[in-house]
Structure 1
Amino acid sequence: MNDYIARYIYDVTKRLDEPIREDISKELEANIYDMLGDDTSDENIKKVLTDLGSPAKMAMNYKTPRYLISPELFDDYLHVLVIVMLVFAGIAFASGIIEAVMGSGVEILAGIMETIFGSMLYAAFNGFAVTTLIFAGIELYNKKTNHPFKVESLPKIPKVESKKSLRVELIVESVFSIVFGILFVYALIYNYVDINIVSDDLNFVYSGDVINSWVSSVFVPWFMIYLVLTVVIKVFQFKEGGFTKVLASFYTALELSSLIMMSIIFTRPNAFNETLISTVSTAFNIDFPYHLGIAIRGIVGLVWVITTIDLIVTWYKLYHPKTNKKQKN
């Protein structure tokens, strides 16, 4: 065998797994001599080997491609990554504002800039790491199981004309839900007020909680679970190109259960601090529990109306997709 050919084959096969080296060596040698034909001069050998390309590139033809995330999953990975990073950054933004404002010994503006943007960058990196690890696990699982393709597994045609606009809509909704949700949770946990009311030369002072501690201990864990499940539903909603019957059912169950939980907790007589209620009632000489009850029931009722309208619209769009298309056109 010519020295150039032997060296070329060696440089290719050394990059391959041991079990296949001998077979690839024989196959490559036969291909090279077929390309040479009757002209085995050094000049022709150099030309043929040059046409074949570098040994590293040639070796890639005999290797199974290795991916952390394969091209089949990469588009889904990018879509989910954008949503997760924005949601994580939104959470960091809300918590960063709280931490910066409550920090002591630091100028507010400098504290906000350093704390918020540092937290957002760190959170975005964590979102990237978590999403990448999850999709890498899915990729590894797919390689091990290697499920055959089934026609039934084909996705349904999206019910919206522009998936890009749906993505923007869901990202914005997720970020707002997380940001305001975190602020609401913060208000429930740190529900401290400092009241000093002067009336008829009398001074009424109260420092303490607005709602009783049991409200936070019961409602906050549920509300955090609600926020996470809401984002998960939106991720699947984007993947499916809109609501499916299953997603709409989960969404409806989640919204109704959260409304029921909120109604039961905040309409209870012992939800709010009795000392605060008594102080306000005495200072203003009003039946504050009565007015507070009306206000709470009004807010809860308004939330029920808004949520009910949202659920009706969701199911209407699900069963009347043609109406949505006509409105867009």
Structure 2
Amino acid sequence: MNDYIERYIYDVTKRLDEKQREDISKELEANIYDMLGEDQSTENIKTVLTTLGSPAKMAMNYKEPRYLISPELFDDYKHVLVIVVAVFVGISFAIGIIEAVTATGIAILEGVFETLFGSVISAGFNGFAVTTLIFAGIELYRKKVNPPFRVESLPKIPKVESKKNLRVEMIIESVFAVIFGYIFIHVLLTNYVNINAIWDEVTWIYTGSVLNAWVANLFVPWFIAYLVLTVIIKVFQFKEGGFTKVLGIFYTALELTSLVIMSIVFTRMNTFNPLFVQSVSTAFNIDFAYHLDLAVKGIISMVWIITTIELIVTWYKIYHPKKGLPKQKN
């Protein structure tokens, strides 16, 4: 064997696993001599080896690609990453606003910059890290299990005209749901006010809780689960290109269950702290319990109406999707 060829093959195979070297050495040698043909001069050997490229590059052709996240999962990874980072940043932003507003002993602007800037950046990195670790775990599982391709696993054609618009819609809905959800949970967990108000020469002073403790203990865990499930449904909704019947069923069940729980919790007579109710009634000489009951029932009724309309629209879109595939750009 020519010295150049022998050295080239050695430089390639030394970069590979030992169990591969012998077979690849024979294969590479045969390919080189096929390319040389009848002309096995030194000049032609140099030309052929130069054409093949560097040994390091050639060795890559015999190696199985190594990915933290493979190209097969990378598009899904990007889409989920955008949503997760947006949600993390939204939560951090809401926390920062609350901390800045409620901070004592520091200037408001200083509190805003200190809590928002650092926490938002940190949240973005945390969202990136969590998503990357999850998809890296999925990639590792896929390599070990290596599931066979099934025709049934092919995705359905999106029912929306623009998946980009759907992604923006999903991100906005998820971020707002998490931000307002966090604020609502924070209010329930804090459940403490310090009020000193004057209204028509009536001074009202109240310090203490607004709701009884059992409300937060019962409602907060469910509401956290509701937010998590909502974001998961949004992710699958984007992946499917819209609501499918299965997603529609899960979404409808989740919304109705949350409404039922909310209705039961906030229409109970012992939901609000009786000291708070009595304090308002005494200060303003009104039957505050009666008016509060009407207000809560009115708000809940409005939420039921809005949610029902939203569910009807959702199911209409499921059974009457827009016809036609997305237009292809020339």
TM-score tier, shorter chain, comes to over 0.9
7 and 197 in structure 1: CA distance in 2 versus 1, 3 angstrom threshold = closer
- Structure 2: how far apart are the matches of 1:232 and 1:293? 34
> Is there any run of 5+ residues in structure 2 with no aligned partner, and where?
326-330
CA positional deviation for 1:198: 6.3
- Structure 2: how far apart are the matches of 1:195 and 1:130? 41
- Give the match for residue 98 of structure 2: 98
TM-score (norm 1): 0.94
Q: Which amino acid aligns with 1:273?
A: N
Cα pair 1:199 1:283 within 8 Å, conserved = no
Query: Which segment drifts farther, 270-279 or 197-206?
Result: 197-206
- Is 1:109 the counterpart of 2:103 in the alignment? no
Q: CA offsets per residue over residues 169-199 of structure 1, 9 Å max, x none?
A: 0100001111111111111122322234668
> Is there any run of 5+ residues in structure 1 with no aligned partner, and where?
none
**Structural RMSD (CA):** 1.9
Q: Which amino acid aligns with 2:71?
A: P
200 and 317 in structure 1: CA distance in 2 versus 1, 3 angstrom threshold = closer
- Structure 2: how far apart are the matches of 1:317 and 1:176? 22
Same amino acid, percent of matched pairs? 72
- Structure 2: how far apart are the matches of 1:245 and 1:200? 56
CA positional deviation for 1:244: 0.7
- Give the match for residue 57 of structure 1: 57
SS at match of 1:270: coil
- Structure 1: how far apart are the matches of 2:78 and 2:205? 55
- Give the match for residue 206 of structure 2: 206
- Give the match for residue 285 of structure 1: 285
- Structure 2: how far apart are the matches of 1:232 and 1:283? 46
SS at match of 2:270: helix
CA positional deviation for 1:2: 2.0
- Give the match for residue 165 of structure 1: 165
Query: Which segment drifts farther, 207-216 or 168-177?
Result: 207-216
- Structure 1: how far apart are the matches of 2:201 and 2:98? 37
281 and 78 in structure 1: CA distance in 2 versus 1, 3 angstrom threshold = same
Cα pair 2:191 2:211 within 8 Å, conserved = yes
- Structure 1: how far apart are the matches of 2:217 and 2:94? 21
Q: CA offsets per residue over residues 254-277 of structure 1, 9 Å max, x none?
A: 111111111111111111111111
69 and 203 in structure 1: CA distance in 2 versus 1, 3 angstrom threshold = closer
SS at match of 1:206: strand
TM-score (norm 2): 0.93
- Give the match for residue 310 of structure 2: 310
CA positional deviation for 1:105: 3.2
78 and 196 in structure 1: CA distance in 2 versus 1, 3 angstrom threshold = closer
- Structure 1: how far apart are the matches of 2:228 and 2:212? 25
CA positional deviation for 1:210: 1.1
Q: Which amino acid aligns with 2:237?
A: Q
State the number of aligned residues: 325
203 and 66 in structure 1: CA distance in 2 versus 1, 3 angstrom threshold = closer
